Structure 1
Amino acid sequence: MRIFVIFVLTAYSHLLHAFTITVPKDQYVVEYGSNVTIECHFQVQKQLDLLSLVVYWEKEDKQIIQFVHGKEDAKAQHSSFRHRAWLLEDQLFKGNAALLITDVKLQDAGVYCCVIGYGGADYKRITLKVNVSMIDVENCSTCDMNSRNQNDTLFEET
């Protein structure tokens, strides 16, 4: 059995390090109501083949981006991100699966997962924290400060 395992690991060892993704920052801190671009980098050899690329962005149980075979499936996007979150497709050719979120809300705070498949697969987790000033809190008619659960990232007063 040990010989079989060594054979399999040797035969497929090129796949173990063939594809990895990196993140320039594992935590972003942004102001309530601002925009943020969260980056997830991957290697592109020569020219990017969009038909071979798969990109998913998720926040906990909410699907944000589903990009498969050169197309983004807008129907898969969770309603809380609709018309506020986009994959910056022009950045894909640079090896950057960048997620743009506009008009950041308190509910956007939390852990995001970037999953990329391109001749291999990898994922990274990135935390988003949202700062709120007292002016924002006073003007926020839709903020429910008491409904946060323990998985929400604490907002910070500035």
Structure 2
Amino acid sequence: MSTSRFTFVVCLLTCLLNRSTCTEVTAEYGEDVILHCHSPRDADIEMLEWIKPDLNSDDYVFFFRENHRYDDYQHPSFHGRVTLRDPTMKDGDASVILKNVTMKDAGTYQCYVGKRSSQHSKRSVPELMNTITLKVEEPKPEHKVVKVKSGDTVTLPCRGFSSSPVTAVEWIRPEMEQAGYFYLSQDGRFVPDGQHPYGKGWVELKDTEMKDGDASLILKNAMPVDSGTYHCYVSQGTNRKKRDTDRPISIINLTVEPGHSEL
């Protein structure tokens, strides 16, 4: 039995014991996903807690109490990414929208709802309403073939999966990766240490601010020795150091043909 299937079975048993619902949701990397949760229609929701048990933290995915959301209680990885589907929670709709999902968002989510009590002196105890197992599919890299003449300036295209700020971009040539990366930028700064000699002084970002997720690379004065495969890895959102996935988001096959002077 696969790990994801085992996790879902465990969640299902938990739901049966708690008389709550249990669902499985699959999302594509970079898209927005709705995590569904509903309480009885006639319930006046006083408290809403969305948690992710495998965070190993007391912080919440989303916390709402007495008509206010509390971002201070939220886990840093979810800051600015979770909103109520219906801010009024009409008909008991306590669903939330999780924006720009990444591989790290996969896992189990639980929704607890506390209903307003007629006895104002007592605070309601939140009840488990729904358990969701979220699966995130890894993105498929974009493949492109680029052909130029020797001496040309060439752009190697690469764009993130969303408009979220790019916190890191790494370009490599797989056949030369052991000797260093081709280009690396973290937190808006070029990192020269560890750069492969073939990249030094010859490459730069098309847009240093990487607006709208544009992490394209410019290679100046291309030569036949530059022919080969280039992989682009991008990190967006809260992930500042590590690649979001083990797969590149862009694969470029570059061919630099000799110029007339080299024929």
Residues 21, 72 of structure 1: alpha-carbon distance in 2 compared, 3 angstrom cutoff: farther
Give the CA deviation at 1:21: 7.5
Structure 2 match to 1:57: 171
Tell me what 2:234 maps to.
116
Structure 1 equivalent of residue 216 of structure 2: 98
Instruction: Provide the residue aligned with 1:136 in structure 2.
Output: 262
SS at match of 1:79: coil
CA shift in 2, pair 1:116/1:21, >3 Å: farther
* Cα pair 2:188 2:208 within 8 Å, conserved: no
Tell me the equivalent position of 2:240.
none
Contact 1:111–1:126 under 8 Å retained in 2: yes
**What is aligned with 1:66?**
184
- Secondary structure, counterpart of 1:94 in structure 2: helix
Q: Indicate the SS of the match to 2:215.
A: coil
RMSD between aligned alpha carbons?
Answer: 2.8
Change (3 A) 1:68 1:76: same
Give structure 1 stretches of 5+ with no counterpart: 138-158
| TM superposition shift of 1:89 | 3.5
Which of 15, 21, 29 is the matching residue for 2:147? 29
SS of 2:212 mapped into structure 1: coil
Contact 2:157 2:217 in 1 (8 A): yes
Larger Rg: 2
SS at structure 1 position matched to 2:198:
helix
Q: Would you tell me which structure has more helix in proportion to its own residues?
A: 1
Q: Which of structures 1 and 2 has the larger relative contact order (alpha carbons within 8 angstroms, sep 6+)?
A: 1
Kept after mapping to 2: 8 A contact 1:22/1:41? no
1:34 deviates by 0.8
* Structure 2 residue 20 is matched with structure 1 residue 4: no
Structure 2: where are the runs of 5+ without partners?
12-22, 31-100, 103-138, 238-243
Question: What per-residue deviation string (whole Å, max 9, x for no partner) do you get for residues 53-107 of structure 1?
Answer: 1210011224111112222101222112211111233461122101000010111
**Mapped partners of 1:41, 1:84: distance in 2:** 21
Q: 1:10 to 1:116 in 2, by over 3 A?
A: farther
TM-score normalised by the chain length of structure 1: 0.67
For residue 130 of structure 1, report the CA deviation from its aligned partner. 1.0
TM-score between both structures, scaled by the size of structure 2: 0.43
The offset of 1:133, in angstroms, is 3.7
